[in-house]
Amino acid sequence: MAPAPGPAAPGVSSARRLLTRLRDVMAGSGSPQARLDKIVRLIAAEMVAEVCSCYLVRPGEVLELFATVGLNPEAVHRTRLRVGEGLVGAVAASAGSIALADAPSHPSFAYRPETGEDPFQSFLGVPILREGKVRGVLTIQNQRRRQYPEEEVETLQTIAMVVAELVAGGEMGGKGELASPEAGAAMPARLAGQPLNGGLAQGLAVLHRPQVTIRQMVAEDVDAEQARFQTGLEIMRTSLDQLLARTAKSGIAESSDILETYRMFAQDRGWIGRIAEAIRTGLTAEAAIQRVRNDMNARMAHLTDPYIRERLYDFEDLANRLLLHLSGKTSAAASGTLPEEFVLIARSIGPAELLDYEESRLKALVLEEGSQASHVAIVAKALDIPVVGRCAGVMTLAEPFDPVIVDADNGQIFIRPAEDVQEAFNQNLVLRSRRRRAFAETARQPAVTRDGTAISIQLNAGLLVDLPHLRETAADGVGLYRTEIPFMVRSEYPDVQAQTELYGRVLDQADGKPVVFRTLDVGGDKVLPYFDEVEQDNPALGWRAIRIGLDRPAMLRKQLRALIRAAAGRPLSVMFPMIADVGEFERARGLLDRELERAATEAEAASGAPALPTRVEVGLMVEVPALMWQLPAILARADFLAVGTNDLMQYLYASDRGNPKLAARYDPLSPAFLAALAELRRAAEAADRPIGVCGEMAGRPIEAMALLGIGYRRLSMSPGGVGPVKAMVRSLELGPLAEYMTQLRVSSSGSLRDKLKSYAQDHGILI
């Protein structure tokens, strides 16, 4: 027998009427508890429900029944559920709505006898959200089985926003119990996070809280609210255009690319349409934006893909920006007086919002969220701002203008540091400043050992902003240019012309020094927004790098075509990543040869000078251990090799380099790994092929010393590593080190790190 049909769902007009009546209750007299009691009675009556209940989050992740109509009134303030317990707890845990026609049959159903809810079959629960956090749960129940339509779910979600404002007043529960403050908030605190851009910094805390207090939730004139929304949208777009123009003049091309993508989000019809629809239900423009943002936050709670999460953060930041414009403010940065030196602390922040803050005063950025792929991390790196992400709880512990120390090299944050910590940091900062000055002077000196061996020091780069370091460090060239970042910050695949312009600018800024371009290395933890998501049990061993390029040859050919055009009249060096066998390299080189033939044909047909590179060298990254047994064949086909020590080591030891439990288990200075590197060097030397190292190992003095000791003469590193490595090279006598390394590798087991440190200390080598 089919269940009896439930009452008709409220339409847009009845939802508006309900919101209007709720506004009157909120503005009326009485205690917050009395108003909450009126609200649940009103909801039950208007939505034709036998039960309406409101649960609020208490300290300790507990949901307490604060108001009800239809359940036993004695259960109020007595019934408590853990977050995750029962249907109410499931709503709170997921930050999403649950609508059930047969609630008792659901596996999460938990019956509490004191409530007297056994007669009720149907259940609809929505989270009470504010500032991205679940503050409670609002529910309705019916005795008969009732299919709650989407319109009713949305109506209850909208009402939950109104209740959130009542809860936010801090009066519910008495003495601010709902705020759940951290004990000892004024005490010194140390937090750990993920380093996103290295460096040391200190300053006064500035909390990025762009939320605008919404004074009015319910619209008096829907048409007027729609007009206000459209006006605010146009003002925001104009401000983004101005910011884009200002950034383009600064020369930070990556920031311009990111802001172009950001501006495209501001044109997104789906996002704009959802806000307009929320206004039509009777909300003010501000409340409608808040409603859509709450929905976004609820969706983010379930996403694991880092790229998609970061793009949803962009939408949230646009909502913040739009709310500020509707309130008459220009940006969150302009809403208060900033200290001369400050550390910006945020849950998340968009690239446009970061650029609103005065760069000369901003010393560091700390985020509760954030990842290497986030737009704001890329912009901060271009601005050379230390960044720590994934710093849980920092927004709760820090108070405005608290002194903060940021150690972004090690992912540590010190809030209200104790005197001894402050003193140690100041000493470290002085020493670091002296070392940087000394390294800056050394970086301009030739990289020649004390016994006359010249070492080629090159840079790893991935942003145009990295290229000026070529002159500052007197590096010999760019040993690795990562081409994937411009692909990651765009919302669609860059065409051949856009790529050609970018690669041309890289070669122009290199000013005649060699640049080795690595073709697109994405997949794994580097996701492109215009690729279909591929579920992979082990992304590091999956469909990535050259495997994607060979499976999508049109994409790889476009990149190779752009590189050839950009290098017209200049040498071109191309390197393919993650080659696992000779056949893959042959196929990749074959695509390059076809593009060279195409370019030659076009040049022959065109008048003027031929648009071809003067010389083309083709190499590969050695990252997959299988190549160790294919070296003669691969060296007969490649012009050069570059060792990617990061991936080679994780594959050789079957050890995920991103797993913190394994971070210190295997050392690159172990005899086994050094033996593999030495074998690669010997094979390349026998075939008369250049070989270098471009992994992180090359940029650390003690490990770079070991590489020199086993015969490597080409090292490529980040700009910050050049000074320390050159200082090591210039203090080193290579002959005795090579002999010592030979003895060590034969006679030792375990890591050679301590022995090499002792050797350096005994021989005056600066490491």
Q: What is the pLDDT of residues 33-68, one digit of tens each?
A: 888 999 999 999 989 999 999 999 887 788 999 999
For residue 302 the two structure tokens come to 């379930």
pTM score: 0.59
**Which residue matches tokens 């990617």?**
644
Nearest-angstrom CA–CA distance, 703 and 677: 12
**How many angstroms from the chain centroid is the CA of residue 654?**
26
The tokens describing 724, both together, are: 């320390």
Rounded average pLDDT over 720-738: 91
The tokens describing 64, both together, are 């307490």
The answer to whether 337 and 200 are in contact (CB under 8 A) is no
Query: Tens digit of pLDDT for each residue in 120-130?
Result: 999 999 999 87
Q: Quickly state the pLDDT bin for 176 (edges 50, 70, 90).
A: very low
Angle CA(686)–CA(690)–CA(695) in degrees, nearest 5?
A: 120
- Spatial distance between the Cα atoms of 422 and 419, rounded to a whole number of angstroms: 5
Rounded Cα distance, 712 and 702, in Å:
14
Backbone region of residue 230 per phi and psi (left: phi > 0; alpha: psi in -120 to 50; beta: other values)? alpha
Q: Which residue has better confidence, 441 or 211? A: 441
Q: List, for residues 657-700, the tens digit of each pLDDT value.
A: 666 567 667 889 999 999 999 999 999 999 999 999 998 899 99
In the numeric block, which tokens belong to residue 571?
A: 């040498």
As a whole number of angstroms, the distance between CA 760 and CA 767 comes to 7
Q: Which two tokens stand for residue 484?
A: 């994937």
Q: What is the pLDDT of residues 585-630, one digit of tens each?
A: 999 999 999 999 999 888 877 765 557 999 999 999 999 999 999 9
Over residues 563-582, the mean pLDDT reads 95
In the chain, what is the straight-line distance between the N-terminal and C-terminal CA atoms, in Å?
Answer: 81
Rg (CA), the chain: 31
Nearest to 456 by CA among 715, 719, 731: 715
Domains of the chain: 12-177 (3.30.450.40), 189-417 (3.50.30.10), 439-455+667-767 (3.20.20.60), 458-622 (3.20.20.60)
Q: What is the pLDDT of residue 69?
A: 94
Best CA proximity match to 353, nearest among 321, 385, 386:
321
Mean pLDDT of 240-246: 72
Q: 483: closest CA among 540, 521, 515?
A: 521
Contact between residue 57 and residue 65 where contact means Cβ atoms under 8 Å apart? no
Q: How far from chain centre, in Å, is Cα 680?
A: 35
- Whole-number mean pLDDT of the chain? 83
Distance CA 278, CA 294 (A): 12
Sign of the dihedral defined by the CA atoms of residues 88, 94, 97, 103, in that order: negative
Residue 179: both structure tokens together: 């705020």
Looking from the CA of 482 toward its CB, the CA atoms found within 13 Å total 22
* Distance from the Cα of residue 376 to its chain's centroid: 8
Query: Is the Cβ–Cβ distance between 619 and 639 less than 8 Å?
Result: yes
Q: What is the SS3 assignment for 591?
A: helix
State the helix-helix crossing angle for 12-27 and 32-46, rounded to 10 degrees.
160
- Contacts of residues 74-81 at CB distance under 8 Å and 24 or more positions apart, as own/partner, are 74/114, 75/112, 75/114, 75/115, 75/116, 78/114, 79/112, 79/114, 79/115, 81/55, 81/110, 81/112
Cβ-proximal residues to 415 (8 Å cutoff; 6+ apart), any chain: 188, 189, 190, 191, 205, 394, 397, 398, 402, 403, 404
pLDDT digits (tens, 9 = 90+) for 262-278: 666 677 777 788 888 88
The number of C-alpha atoms within 13 Å of 212 and in the hemisphere containing its C-beta is 27
